[in-house]
Amino acid sequence: MNLTGKVCLVTGGARGIGRAIVEAYAAAGAAAVYAIDMAFDEALTTHAAVKPVVLDVTDGTAVQTAIERIQADEGRIDVLVNNAGITRDALVQKMTDAD
C-alpha cells in the first residue's frame, strides 16, 4: 500500500481496527492521518503524520467544524474511513432503548 502524500481521516482511530488503520496509513506514507475519537492515549501521537482530533462523531456541528478546519489546513481529504462505532450484542428482548 502506498499512500504517499495522501490526507486521510479515520473515525474511531484511538483503538482497535481504527487504530490499526491509522498506524498502517502513517507507515504507508500518508502526509496526514487525522484520527478522530473521543479520547486518546499517548502512544498514538508518536508518528508525526498522525493528528489526533478529539470529537464525538454523533455531534454533527463538531464534525462539520472539524472537517472545515482540516480542509482549510490541508486543501482536501483524500481518504475517509468511517470506522467509529459501538457494538451492543444482545437478544432484542434484553436490550434497552439506550442500547
Interface residues with ligand NAD (CB under 6 A) are 11-12, 14-18, 36-38, 56-58, 83-87
- Chain centroid to Cα 33, Å, comes to 8
For the CB of residue 9, give the shortest distance to ligand NAD in the complex, in Å.
12
**Closer residue to ligand NAD (CB): 5 or 41:** 41
For the CB of residue 39, give the shortest distance to ligand NAD in the complex, in Å.
7
Asked if residues 33 and 49 have their Cβ atoms less than 8 Å apart, the reply is yes
What are the backbone angles phi and psi of residue 50, rounded to the nearest 5°? -85, 125
**Closer residue to ligand NAD (CB): 29 or 64:** 64
**How, if at all, do strands 32-37 and 50-54 pair?**
parallel
For the CB of residue 82, give the shortest distance to ligand NAD in the complex, in Å.
8
CB burial class (10 A; 0-12, 13-18, 19+) of residue 19? buried
**Closer residue to ligand NAD (CB): 29 or 95:** 95
